[in-house]
Chain A
């Protein structure tokens, strides 16, 4: 589909209240998943550790 057709497709969905909700859910979910991907692995590793023994 051309860009114009895509725009028409999304505009049509956006005009429908439930379609708008669906698109917004996808939009927000995308943001959240992006944040999870970026920061989700976390850092449970300890600082650099040098065992000095006794």
Chain B
């Protein structure tokens, strides 16, 4: 044989490929077996991957919910992933939320799921915090960096299911956050090509596709490894799913949760949860008349960059044909009034939310009927309180069973 090294090298690579494929098949089987167990435990360390989300999307009794701190900040038995852990009405949520999450992160996560998202029911949870409180209404750089996923970024960049226009728009936005790309020059190169889309850049993008797919394959394998490893370390108690059908009496739960919430707000007079009060108490040292800050509030809400990012996420949803529901936390009206923003001005948030979502014809649940309800939100950023979670859970139950919207 004249080329033994070539033949041997090709055989070795092939054998490794077969091994990788076998591991992937095993991992999918393993993840499919334990995805319900993972749904019931805190699994934010898997958030930068996406293989388990793909598996969760295929389960008939799991409702994936994307979002940010509004879903994870308050650790309570009323949190959806604990409340529904025994599948009382036949389903459980699969929580894909992380502190500091934003619409730009969600856009990448959804884009990474590609075809798996088509026709699937998912809930996109958003809150008014970034639009109303963050400088320029923009996601905090540290929060974005902390939630950056190379796998999701590459899956988005090389997705065959998204239009070049959408990929280009998202790439331009991702380049506004250069820090996480420092460690990933290939991702930066790809995003720069996508962002420009001149003939030369487009050629470079097309030429780099094979390398992109190899990189994605390697990252997927690593994601499988991390996920399998995570599951292996769950205790037998955590992997045992107990299903108990029961009728939920939502109305009777509200006063119980409210009583617990009141007990957790005894550090202040404003109904703010004790865990959040130290972070915002300076704002309440000198209360101002409602309406005195309306102008700034309206301008902030109107010009918040997060709306642009939400629009990007909605584009992804439309192009991937997901059956998405937008669920927003309501404003905390009494608290904002205390710091100078009238109830009328606060409606600007809902108006803008609906105007951004309207072109995509997706249902919106904004809970505005609860924005003056005492103890629905636990802070200025509209994180749901224990009582608020009851209403949120009721809505999720309605969404899953098709009773909402």
Is B185 located at the chain interface by the 8 A CB criterion?
no
Contact A52 B11 (CB under 8 A): no
- Docked pose: A45 CA to B13 CA in angstroms: 27
Contact A28 B9 (CB under 8 A): yes
Complex Cα distance, B105 from A42, in Å, reads 21
Give 1 or 0 for each of A27-47: 1 = CB within 8 Å of chain B CB: 111011100100011101111
Per the bound structure, the CA–CA distance linking A32 and B47 in Å amounts to: 29
Q: Among A29, A32, A41, A45, point to the contact of B45 (Cβ < 8 A).
A: A45
Q: Does B358 contact A (CB under 8 A)?
A: no
Distance of B23 from chain A, by nearest CB (Å): 11
B202 near A: Cβ within 8 Å?
Answer: no
Decide yes or no: A45 and B100 within 8 Å by CB, A21-B7, A25-B12, A53-B279 being known contacts. Answer: no
In the complex, residue of chain A having the shortest beta-carbon distance to the beta carbon of B225: A41
Query: Are B15 and A44 touching (Cβ within 8 A)?
Result: no
Contact in complex: B7, A52 (CB < 8 Å): no
- The reply on B4 being an interface residue by CB < 8 A is yes
Q: How large is the interface on A (under 10, 10 to 19, 20 to 34, 35 or more residues)?
A: 20 to 34
Determine whether A1 belongs to the interface, using a CB cutoff of 8 Å to chain B. no
Q: Which residues of B contact A31 (CB under 8 A)?
A: 12
Complex CA–CA separation, A44 to B69 (angstroms): 21
How many angstroms between the C-alpha atoms of A51 and B56 in the bound complex? Answer: 27
Per the 8 Å Cβ criterion, residues 31-80 of B in contact with A are 45, 47-49, 69, 73
* CB atoms of A46 and B147 under 8 A apart: yes
Given A20-B4, A21-B1; A44-B49 close (CB under 8 Å):
yes
The yes or no answer to B8 lying at the interface (CB within 8 A) is yes
| CB neighbours of B218 from chain A (8 A) | 42
A32 to B13, CA, bound (A): 8
Determine which of B142, B148, B149, B379 lies in contact with A50 in the assembled complex, contact meaning CB atoms within 8 Å: B142
The answer to whether B145 touches A47, judged by C-beta atoms less than 8 angstroms apart, is yes
Chain A residues with CB under 8 Å of B366's CB are none
Q: Are A51 and B219 in contact (CB under 8 A)?
A: no
Instruction: Report whether A46 and B8 are in contact in the complex, using a CB–CB cutoff of 8 Å.
Output: no
Q: Separation in Å of the B343 CB from the closest CB of chain A?
A: 20
B140 touches A52 (CB 8 A): yes
Assess the B148–A24 pair: CB atoms within 8 A: no
Beta-carbon nearest neighbor of B1 in chain A: A17
User: Which residue of A36, A41, A49 contacts B100 across the interface (Cβ within 8 Å)?
Assistant: A49
Q: In the bound complex, do residue A51 and residue B100 qualify as a contact, i.e. CB atoms below 8 Å apart?
A: yes
B8 partner residues in chain A, CB cutoff 8 A = 21, 24-25, 27-28
Closest to B380 in A: A54
Q: In chain A, what residue has the closest Cβ to B218?
A: A42
CA distance A23 to B99 in the complex (A): 52
Residue of A nearest to B152 (CB): A44
Please tell me if the beta carbons of A29 and B15 are within 8 angstroms of each other in the complex: yes
**Chain A positions near chain B (C-beta within 8 angstroms):** 17, 20-21, 24-25, 27-29, 31-33, 36, 40-42, 44-54
| 24 A-B interface contacts by CB (under 8 A) | A20-B1, A21-B7, A21-B11, A24-B4, A25-B15, A27-B8, A28-B9, A28-B13, A29-B15, A29-B16, A40-B221, A42-B222, A42-B225, A44-B226, A45-B45, A46-B145, A47-B148, A49-B99, A49-B142, A49-B147, A51-B99, A51-B100, A52-B142, A53-B276
